[in-house]
C-alpha cells in the first residue's frame, strides 16, 4: 500500500488519509496537522449537513486574498510556491474553499448567541485609557498625589519619579486596559472614576503605583467586538463538537508498530 493513502484518522466514520493531512501541514506551514485536520473535518461535516456552499466569485476573491497574504503576485510565483511544497493549484483553491466554509459555519453557530453573550459579559469589554506612575513607597505616592492636587502635570512627575522604564519616558502612558488587566482594587477605582482623575496608590509587586485615567469607555457591541465574540463562540462550539465526535487517530498506532492498513 502507498503510505500516503494510509487512513490517518476517522471522524464519525469519514476517513482522512495521510496525503490529506500532510497537504494541510504544507498549506498551513506547521505540523499540528492532526489536530487541525480533525477540527477541519468536524467543521466541513457541519457545512455539509447544512448544505453550505460558496459561489465562484467569492471563491476566486479568497484565492486572490490568500496569494497576496503569501506575497505571491504572479501566476509564476504561485506555481513555484506550490511546487516547492508538493502542491498544485487545486490545493490552493481547496484551502480557500475550506476557509470560506469555516467562516459560514462560524456565522451559523455564533450569530444567535453574540448578543446574549455580550449582555452577560459586557463588563469585561469596558476599556480605560490610563497612565501609570510606579514608585517605591506608599509615602512617596501620597506626596506625589499632593503635588498633583497642586497642579503638577502627571506626565512630568512620571518622567521624574516613575520606576517603570517602559513608561517613564512616555510620561507614564500605559495605554488601553480592560477590567481583567487590573486587580480588584484598581479595577473598582479606575472604572468608577471620571476622566482626568488620578487614583491610588495601589500595591504593585514590591512597589506602588498611581493610575491617571484619561478616558473610560463603557462596553458597546461594536462590529469589532462582534467579530471577536464570533471567534470566541466558534472556538467554544468547535472544541465541544470535536469532543462529541468519534475520533480515531490511526497514525499513532502505525507509529507504535501496528500493521499498516
- Same domain, yes or no, for 136 and 103? no
pTM, rounded to two decimals: 0.72
- Do 69 and 193 reside in the same domain of the chain? no
114 and 51 together in one domain: yes
The answer to whether residue 261 is domain-embedded is: no
**pLDDT at residue 80, as a whole number:** 95
pLDDT one-digit tens code per residue, 23-65: 777 677 666 778 889 999 999 999 999 999 999 999 999 999 9
Half-sphere exposure of 190 (CA within 13 A, CB side): 31
User: 3-state DSSP helix/strand/coil percent for the chain, to nearest 5?
Assistant: 60, 15, 25
Cell numbers that stand for 27 in this block: 498549506
Range of the domain at 138: 129-217
Q: Are residues 24 and 51 in the same domain?
A: no
Angle, vertex CA 26, rays to CA 245 and CA 69, nearest 5: 105
| Same domain flag for 83 and 17 | no
Per the structure, the count of domains in the chain is 3
pLDDT tens digits, one per residue of 71-112: 999 999 999 999 998 899 999 999 999 999 999 999 999 999
**Per-residue pLDDT tens digits for 175-205:** 999 998 998 899 999 999 989 999 989 999 8
Same domain, 179 and 238: no
Q: Tell me: do 137 and 211 sit in the same domain.
A: yes
Kind and range of the H or E element at 194? none
Amino acid at each position: 500500500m502507498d503510505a500516503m493513502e494510509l487512513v490517518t484518522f476517522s471522524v464519525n466514520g469519514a476517513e482522512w488519509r495521510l496525503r490529506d493531512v500532510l497537504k494541510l501541514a504544507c498549506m498551513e506551514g506547521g505540523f499540528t496537522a492532526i489536530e487541525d485536520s480533525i477540527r477541519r473535518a468536524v467543521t466541513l461535516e457541519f457545512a455539509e449537513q447544512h448544505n453550505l456552499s460558496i459561489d465562484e466569485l467569492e471563491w476566486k476573491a479568497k484565492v486572490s486574498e490568500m496569494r497576496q497574504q503569501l506575497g505571491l503576485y504572479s501566476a509564476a510565483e504561485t506555481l513555484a510556491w506550490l511546487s516547492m511544497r508538493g502542491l498544485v493549484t487545486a490545493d490552493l483553491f481547496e484551502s480557500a474553499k475550506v476557509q470560506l466554509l469555516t467562516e459560514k459555519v462560524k456565522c451559523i453557530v455564533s450569530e444567535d448567541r453574540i448578543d446574549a453573550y455580550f449582555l452577560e459579559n459586557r463588563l469585561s469589554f469596558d476599556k480605560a485609557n490610563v497612565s501609570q506612575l510606579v514608585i517605591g513607597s506608599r509615602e512617596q505616592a501620597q506626596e506625589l498625589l499632593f503635588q498633583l492636587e497642586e497642579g503638577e502635570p502627571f506626565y512630568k512627575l512620571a518622567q521624574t519619579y516613575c520606576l517603570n522604564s517602559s513608561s517613564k519616558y512616555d510620561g507614564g502612558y500605559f495605554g488601553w486596559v480592560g477590567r481583567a488587566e487590573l486587580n480588584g482594587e484598581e479595577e473598582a477605582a479606575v472604572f468608577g472614576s471620571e476622566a482626568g482623575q488620578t487614583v491610588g496608590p495601589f500595591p504593585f509587586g514590591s512597589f506602588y503605583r498611581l493610575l491617571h485615567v484619561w478616558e473610560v469607555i463603557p462596553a458597546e457591541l461594536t462590529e469589532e467586538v462582534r467579530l471577536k465574540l464570533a471567534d470566541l463562540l466558534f472556538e467554544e462550539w468547535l472544541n465541544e463538537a470535536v469532543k462529541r465526535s468519534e475520533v480515531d487517530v490511526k497514525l499513532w498506532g502505525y507509529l507504535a508498530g501496528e500493521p499498516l492498513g
